[in-house]
DNA sequence: GCATTATTCTAATAATCGTTGGAATATTCG
DNA sequence: CGAATATTCCAACGATTATTAGAATAATGC
């Protein structure tokens, strides 16, 4: 019946989510999981941390119900427990980009040109891709592409580009994307393509950003 | 040039926002500030904590650039540093409501009927309010109403309802709202109105939820 | 059933955080 | 200028948290 006490309980529950997203490593894990289901092993490797530590962080995320685990034979696969979780990650990152000058500066130094998209740009990119005026390539590992990708995008994983570069039309603009604004794969892909004489550019969006903007993904 | 290191920096910056929202008290302060500018003093009183503690928490929020402070004579007023901050609060709370069973249960116990609104319901409520079929009342303190409120809503602060109850039409449905789903003022208002024979109900939305749903607020 | 591999659990340490009390600062009012 | 008020700074305590190492669990393949 104590009003103060019940209120405290409510905010404490929400703070469980806040605590879960208060660690850089956990945020990185969330972003990786936004690309699709992954094993502890794969997550630890990609995040550059010990498996034990990854497991501990995943446990925290699981306690906050942001991720779910499922045993699949010898491995345990983790996945986000809903689309809203990846939307939360996008929101957090967007607020950080908007308000933290340090982050803005860091990103400008790393990625020469910021390639933020607005609703209009996203739509027109899709139109051009549909008509075949540009070729949109998804440079993430193919399993992530299979889990969901931008409409009209074709899979061209970063580590296969060198071998498969001939598959790309030399007379069209190429637009590369990867896991999101923090991911460096699309920038590397663009550099590689330009070296070979292609007209290429990257966009900051990954599938999570695309979806958070209310646009549909394609599967298979 | 070390890829791992630069990535760590980026996630660390976002985690600054995460850390800022990892404390229940800070979340409560954010929700209060979403209702408009307030002094340390007022914030501490409403959140039920010591002024010193409130000041310390505000300092953390300020370091994360989620709030701004401005001296106004003898007082220092704090406010959110952008609309996206209150949208972040709404998103965090929404994810918590969606995934944390404990929170769902707690809210069902406190607020008998959940009054979640969808886009359709919000629109139709506005239509009815515009036509005068229902009377929407904002039961927050009048300063918060002045800072922004639902369109067609009139101000009727909880602690003035008893005196001013005659101002309300007895033959129309009354819809009360307050600061959001965690706020108990609208529930109290409804109880009071029903006691006096009015047909009244509450909605969970506050201005932050309304705005986060992409709908406009009214000012003055 | 035994060795192997993937993952989690336990324990321990150092670092960080929330909270409180007391002193210090800044502004207004007389 | 001096008193009063609002707010912050500083120091200190106990409570969490991140991280690492080592032991334990669970499923697989021979």
DSSP B44-108: HHHHTS-HHHHHHHHHHHHHTTSEEEEEETTEEEEEES-HHHHHHHHHHHHHHHHH-HHHHHHHH
d(CA A21, CA A24): 8
More confident residue, A125 or A113: A125
Which pLDDT value is given to residue A3? Answer: 80
With H, G, I as helix, E, B as strand and everything else as coil, classify residue A153: strand
Q: Is the pLDDT of residue A2 over 80?
A: no
Q: Do B99 and A21 touch (CB under 8 A)?
A: no
B81 touches strand D (CB under 7 A): no
A24 touches chain B (CB under 8 A): yes
What is the pLDDT confidence band of residue B144, given thresholds at 50, 70 and 90? very high
Provide the shortest C-alpha distance from residue A157 to chain B (in Å).
18
Cβ A58 vs Cβ A65: under 8 Å: no
- The residue ranges of DSSP E strands in chain B, in sequence order, are 38-39, 67-72, 75-80, 134-138, 153-155, 173-177, 200-202
Which pLDDT value is given to residue B56? Answer: 92
Which pLDDT value is given to residue A1? Answer: 52
Average pLDDT, chain B: 91
Which one of A11, A19, A96 has the shortest CB-CB distance to B14? A96
Q: What integer is the mean pLDDT of B190-201?
A: 94
What is the pLDDT confidence band of residue B109, given thresholds at 50, 70 and 90? confident
More confident residue, B115 or B215: B215
Q: Using the CA of A59, which nucleotide's C1' is the nearest one?
A: C8
Residues 6+ apart with CB under 8 A from A196: A165
Which pLDDT value is given to residue A135? Answer: 95
Distance A54 CA to D20 C1' (A): 12
Which pLDDT value is given to residue A105? Answer: 87
Choose among A28, A177, A140: nearest CA to B9. Answer: A28
d(CA A7, CA B22): 16
Cβ A34 vs Cβ A66: under 8 Å: no
Q: What integer is the mean pLDDT of A180-194?
A: 93
Exposed e or buried b per residue across B162-197, where buried means at least 16 C-beta atoms within 10 angstroms of its C-beta? eeebeebeeeeebbbbbbbbbbbbbbbbbebbeeee
Q: Is the pLDDT of residue A12 over 80?
A: yes
| Catalytic status, residue A183 | no
Which pLDDT value is given to residue B152? Answer: 94
Is the pTM higher than 0.85? yes
Q: Is the pLDDT of residue A211 over 90?
A: yes
Residues 6+ apart with CB under 8 A from A71: A77
Q: Is the pLDDT of residue A166 over 80?
A: yes
Protein residues with beta carbon less than 7 Å from any atom of strand C: A 39-41, 51-52, 55-56, 58-59, 69, 74-76; B 19, 22-23, 25-26, 49-50, 52-53, 56-57, 60, 71, 73-74
Sign of CA dihedral A8, A12, A13, A14: positive
Q: What integer is the mean pLDDT of A128-151?
A: 94
Q: Is the pLDDT of residue B113 over 70?
A: no
Choose among B93, B109, B116, B74: nearest CA to B34. Answer: B93
Which one of A15, A17, A92 has the shortest CB-CB distance to B17? A92
Which pLDDT value is given to residue B102? Answer: 87
Protein-proximal nucleotides of chain D (any atom < 7 Å from a CB): 5-10, 17-22, 27-28
Cβ A30 vs Cβ A80: under 8 Å: yes
Q: Is the pLDDT of residue A16 over 80?
A: yes
Q: Is the pLDDT of residue B114 over 70?
A: no
Which pLDDT value is given to residue A72? Answer: 81
Query: For residue A112, what is the DSSP state?
Result: S
A17-60 tens-digit pLDDT: 999 999 999 999 999 999 999 999 899 998 999 898 999 999 99
Average pLDDT, chain A: 91
Residue A10: both structure tokens together: 């409510």
Interface test with B, best of A11, A46, A182 (most B CBs within 10 A): A11
Q: Do A100 and B28 touch (CB under 8 A)?
A: no
Residue A172: both structure tokens together: 């069209």
Which pLDDT value is given to residue A114? Answer: 60
Query: For residue A213, what is the DSSP state?
Result: T
Q: Is the pLDDT of residue B136 over 60?
A: yes
Which pLDDT value is given to residue A20? Answer: 94
A77-122 tens-digit pLDDT: 999 999 999 999 999 999 999 999 889 888 888 887 666 778 888 9
Which pLDDT value is given to residue B128? Answer: 94
- The residue ranges of DSSP E strands in chain A, in sequence order, are 38-39, 67-72, 75-80, 134-138, 153-155, 173-177, 200-202
State the CB neighbour count (10 A cutoff) for residue B153.
22
C-alpha dist (Å) from residue B189 to A23, A83, B145, B157, B195: 40, 36, 16, 9, 10
Residue A133: both structure tokens together: 């005026």
Which pLDDT value is given to residue A131? Answer: 93
Residues 6+ apart with CB under 8 A from A188: A139, A158
């Amino acid at each position: 019946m104590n009003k103060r006490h019940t209120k405290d309980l409510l905010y404490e529950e929400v703070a469980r989510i806040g605590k879960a997203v208060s660690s850089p490593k956990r945020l990185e894990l969330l972003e990786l999981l936004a690309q699709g289901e992954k094993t502890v092993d794969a997550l630890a490797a990609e995040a550059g941390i010990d498996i034990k530590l990854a497991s501990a962080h995943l446990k925290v995320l699981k306690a906050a119900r942001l991720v779910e685990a499922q045993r699949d034979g010898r491995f345990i696969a983790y996945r986000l427990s809903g689309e809203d979780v990846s939307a939360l990650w996008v929101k957090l990152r967007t607020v950080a980009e908007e308000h933290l000058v340090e982050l803005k500066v860091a990103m400008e130094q790393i990625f020469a040109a910021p390639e933020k998209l607005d609703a209009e740009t996203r739509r027109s990119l899709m139109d051009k891709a549909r008509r075949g005026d540009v070729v949109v390539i998804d440079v993430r590992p193919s399993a992530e592409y299979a889990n969901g990708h931008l409409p009209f995008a074709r899979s061209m994983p970063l580590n296969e580009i060198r071998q498969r570069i001939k598959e790309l039309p030399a007379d069209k603009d190429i637009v590369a994307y990867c896991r999101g604004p923090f991911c460096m794969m699309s920038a590397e892909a663009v550099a590689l393509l330009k070296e070979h004489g292609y007209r290429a550019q990257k966009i900051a969006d990954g599938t999570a950003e695309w979806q958070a903007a209310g646009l549909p993904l394609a599967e298979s």
